Amino acid sequence: MKTALLISTYNWHEALELVLLSVIRQTVAPDEIIIADDGSDNRTKSLIDSYRTKYKVPIIHEWIEDLGFRRTTILNKAIAKSKADYIIQVDGDCFLHQNFIKDHLNNVKENLYLYGTRVKIKQDYVPQTLKSKNINIRFFQKGIKKRPRLLRIPFLANFYSAESTISPKLRGCNLSFWRNDFIAVNGYNENLKGWGREDSELIIRFHNNNISGKRLKFCAIVFHLDHNEESRDNFNINDKLQNDTIKNKVKRCKNGLDKYL
């Protein structure tokens, strides 16, 4: 089984560097790294190019023009480029615990997607974290929110079972799935423009396609660099599209991945 680590980013190369540093120290490496870039400037490209020699695995940098928040489009295009069987997806403002990839892979099963938790670095502490490039987060250090989520006890993760409905705790910044399952639902729905519901609408179609979900607790930890929220101007439109997916039990979106395959 080949694994891809998928990192979505937009114009925050300092945060992306922490993610890339955290990938270097993984106890289990991915087979490929894909950076889904929603229109960043050349600083992000220069950073990625500088890290290509630091990895033994290829880095794919998929970029689209900056025409506003188009996360669904760039993620579809990035996954279309992947040659992996299994996708582990994170955001470019979330760096990884050293056993992050290992924990996801230890829980992989057929007809199952996985979603994990995030520890938050409080916004006031983010500048210093970026400046120091400190990715060794300790339990008692200052500036941590959701501190109990720092506990990694993989044995306890075994007590969480598969779920037949979507969880309100699901976040796209810590998510993994089979690429073939993603293809079967035609990927992200590109009718969802702007921030909101893009991950949950995808996962609802997974469930409509008999793909269950499992929460990864006490393992698969990411550290989120807190920041100002994205504009929610399109949220109500996206919410209506998601409600239509629920009501009509949609298994496959029309405006999705297939145009890039």
Which whole number is the average pLDDT over 189-211? 96
Contact 120, 95 (CB under 8 A): no
- What's residue 229's pLDDT? 74
pLDDT of residue 78: 98
Separation CA 163–CA 182 (nearest Å): 18
pLDDT value at residue 70: 96
Share of the chain above pLDDT 70, in %: 100
Q: Does 23 have pLDDT greater than 90?
A: yes
- Which pLDDT does position 79 carry in this prediction? 98
- At residue 91, φ and ψ (nearest 5 deg) are -95, 155
Q: What is the pLDDT of residues 139-193, one digit of tens each?
A: 989 999 989 999 999 989 888 899 999 999 999 999 999 999 999 999 999 999 9
Residue 111 has pLDDT above 80, yes or no: yes
Residue 231 has pLDDT above 80, yes or no: no
Report the DSSP beta bridge partners of residue 34.
6, 60
Q: Which amino acid is at 162?
A: A
pLDDT averaged over every residue in the chain: 95
The CATH number that domain 3-260 falls under is 3.90.550.10
Q: What is the pTM of this model?
A: 0.96
Confidence of residue 99 (pLDDT cuts 50, 70, 90): very high
Instruction: Name the helix (H) or strand (E) containing 198.
Output: helix 198-208
Q: Is the dihedral of CA 135, 138, 142, 145 positive or negative?
A: positive
In tens, the pLDDT along 55-73 reads 989 999 999 999 999 999 9
Name residues whose C-beta falls within 8 Å of residue 131's C-beta, 6 or more positions apart in sequence.
none
pLDDT at 233: 83
Domain limits of the chain?
Answer: 3-260
Residue 218 makes CB contacts below 8 A (sequence gap 6+) with 151, 152, 153, 154, 155, 156, 157
Has residue 134 got a pLDDT over 90? yes
DSSP annotation of 163 reads B
